[in-house]
A and B are shown apart, each in its own frame.
Chain A
Amino acid sequence: MLKFIGRRAAFAAMTILIVSAVVFGIFSFLPFDPASLTCGQRCTDQIVEANRVRLGFDKPIYEQYWLFLSGIFAGRTYGAGSAAFTCPAPSFGYSFNENACVTDMIREALPITISLAIGALILWLMVGIGLGIIAAKFKNRWPDTSSSVFVLLATSLPTFVTGLALLIWVSIKWKLVPLSLTGYTSLIDNPYKFMQYFILPWITLAIAYAAIYTRFTRAALLETLGEDYIRTARAKGVGERVVFFKHTLRAVLAPLVTLAGLDFAGLIGGAIITETIFNLPGLGRLTLRSVYEFDLAVVLATTILAAVVVIVMNLIVDMLYAVLDPRVRIV
């Protein structure tokens, strides 16, 4: 097990190194000058050059990359003279658009995205698996048909439509959930406000995913119900309820966990649309903004973060899978 984790950690480190190098490379070969983006009109060559030096873009690419890497471990100092300042380790760079160390920006955005993702995950697992179970249990009867209507609607409506509709109708028109403009409150500080802040975003995200999970759970359950070992259980005299909720559901668990783990990783990478509609200052919005504004340091950091999350979630999923499915062994 330790060996496994060690090897995967080494693999993760390698991947991160490669991802960061690739992102770095892409940006350095893009046909625009990051220095010229830092000043508006009345941009003289002198200012562009001064900015180039201040941003470190005057150095050769490998040196920039080395500075970036060493910043992660040693922190990094920007600027010169009395306007100089340091982003302490682990430093993932400095955003000149936001005047902030990238690490701090991510530190601020991460709890929001994680809260969003975990809440939505819980909600969609409950709804998706629940509906999937009902649909499978009552196959071809009205609960199944109604759940397939839900699946059809939820998968055909884009997130920005459901999100906007929820926000406008539930919050603004019907005033069922107070409009949360004041920003994020942590669960510990004020659970009630936390729920208020996230409930609509959770629902928005959960609707789309719940539909997928309903379909997946239903299909997996029905497939498992046709397995020989389910017939064996019945032949033993096991009751239908136990056959369904123990033997069948247990077999569906492992693939569900895999799916949920990877979807969760995707969400940490950024639920861009949901975060944008509900004005949640999470990683998705951060990434979107930084791409729009060519805020390279932030793009680089969020890309690496997304890669790390995917790698870590894969690791967790693999380990969970080994726990859930005795046929899989970690070596």
Chain B
Amino acid sequence: MTELLRIEDLHVSFKTDDGVVRAVDGVSLTLNAGETVAIVGESGSGKTVTSLSVMGLHKKGQAEISGSISLSDHGTFKDVVHLSDDEIREIRGRAVSMIFQDPMSSLHPYYKIGNQLAEAYLVHNRGKKKEAMARALEMLDLVGIPEPAKRAQEFPHQFSGGMRQRVMIAMALMNSPQILIADEPTTALDVTVQAQILALLSKLKKEFNMGILLITHDLGVVAQVADRVNVMYAGRIVEEGPVDDIFYSPLAPYTLGLLKSVPRVSKNNERLKAIPGQPPSLINLPVGCPFAPRCEYKQHSSEAGCNTTRPALLGTSSTHRSRCHVPENLRHELFANELKEVQG
């Protein structure tokens, strides 16, 4: 497996009038070619901030970034955190591309689709206008847009939501990047369209031998396409592991909570089991485990109190690790039972 991206101990904080927001607090993860790695979490958990850091899209002076983001620029590794603006810009859209949640607002309403696509190519290949347009049509065709030559002359508002997202994907692939960051790529779409887009992404992943970093809050999407999963809460990864491990034997109480809150068709027609309480403020994180205030399993924890110490990311397996003060074996048992109960 070729490693494409290695994030190590990434910290991102923002200075605001109310105080310092620690949006990402020591995140580490890797992404390999041909693999889809998901980052799952609620809004504000730091998943998007992490992805924007990889793109180098945080404004200097506004965001305080430390740690390292080692990114393969077609074989050569570069640390995004320490690159200059121009150097990052040079990588952006070429070595790493990104697609966004709302395909309507993510496309410029005043420019033709073809031109917007071509621009992505031209930025990195100056002056090659003909080539850029040819490439644009090729990519439109590739993402399944019929009559690409005609549609390239149209404006975003003339496309449906799903088609727009296809356009976004086509645009992201203009320079055949190795890494694709997909930030909630299907959230704004109909369920049927969602499946098509996900299938398209999978297909393209293979075709381009890309690594996809999938940012989502939707466990259904994760189950469908991810190989590995990182669950984030309050700026930290609280559990990481292969997709099956996460779904069938979750180890973090938060992950369990997420799984339990997924709506299902059930006989007894009960209400969703939402996680009680609200995520903590990233300005004033609790001293102990950030999830402690919402956690139902605190009483099972050992002497290292949930309210006083932050749990480390640990695991008996090298691929499946989590943060919790409750002993791992106890969690195995407790959580498996609960899952059974919920999933019937």
A residues within 8 Å of B by Cβ? 227-229, 231-240, 247, 250-251, 254, 324-327
Closest chain A CB from B232 CB (angstroms): 21
Cα distance A123–B120 in the bound complex, in angstroms: 36
Interface assignment of B102: CB less than 8 Å from any CB of chain A: yes
Closest chain B CB from A241 CB (angstroms): 11
**The stretch of B7-15, B92-100, B133-141, B249-257 that contacts the partner chain:** B92-100
Whether A227 lies near B105 (C-beta < 8 A) is: yes
A250 neighbours in B (Cβ, 8 Å): 108, 110-111
Whether A232 lies near B155 (C-beta < 8 A) is: no
Point out the residue from B93, B100, B110 that lies within 8 Å of A231, measured CB to CB: B100
Interface assignment of B333: CB less than 8 Å from any CB of chain A: no
Q: List 13 A-B contacts (CB under 8 A).
A: A227-B105, A228-B105, A232-B108, A235-B57, A235-B92, A235-B172, A236-B123, A237-B92, A237-B94, A238-B119, A326-B109, A326-B157, A327-B157
Whether B106 lies near A229 (C-beta < 8 A) is: yes
Whether B123 lies near A232 (C-beta < 8 A) is: no
Chain A interface, >50% SS class: helix
Which of A231, A237, A251, A325 has the most chain B CB atoms closer than 10 A to its own CB? A237
Within 8 A of A (CB), among B50-101: 55, 57, 85, 89-94, 97-98, 100
A235 in contact with B97 given A228-B102, A327-B155, A327-B157 (CB within 8 Å): yes
Sorted from nearest, which 8 A-B pairs have the closest CB atoms?
A: A237-B93, A228-B105, A237-B92, A236-B93, A326-B155, A236-B120, A229-B108, A228-B106
A236 neighbours in B (Cβ, 8 Å): 92-93, 97, 119-120, 123, 171, 174
Whether A239 lies near B89 (C-beta < 8 A) is: yes
Cα distance A128–B97 in the bound complex, in angstroms: 37
Interface assignment of B124: CB less than 8 Å from any CB of chain A: yes
B102 neighbours in A (Cβ, 8 Å): 228
Closest chain B CB from A229 CB (angstroms): 4
A227 neighbours in B (Cβ, 8 Å): 105
Point out the residue from B85, B100, B171 that lies within 8 Å of A228, measured CB to CB: B100
Closest chain B CB from A328 CB (angstroms): 10
Whether B108 lies near A231 (C-beta < 8 A) is: no
Cα distance A239–B57 in the bound complex, in angstroms: 12
Closest chain B CB from A227 CB (angstroms): 7
Whether A234 lies near B108 (C-beta < 8 A) is: no
Cα distance A327–B89 in the bound complex, in angstroms: 30
A247 neighbours in B (Cβ, 8 Å): 108
Cα distance A97–B105 in the bound complex, in angstroms: 60
B168 neighbours in A (Cβ, 8 Å): 232
A251 in contact with B100 given A236-B171, A326-B155 (CB within 8 Å): no
Interface assignment of B201: CB less than 8 Å from any CB of chain A: no
Closest chain A CB from B110 CB (angstroms): 5
- The chain A residue with its CB closest to the CB of B124 is A237
- The chain A residue with its CB closest to the CB of B86 is A239
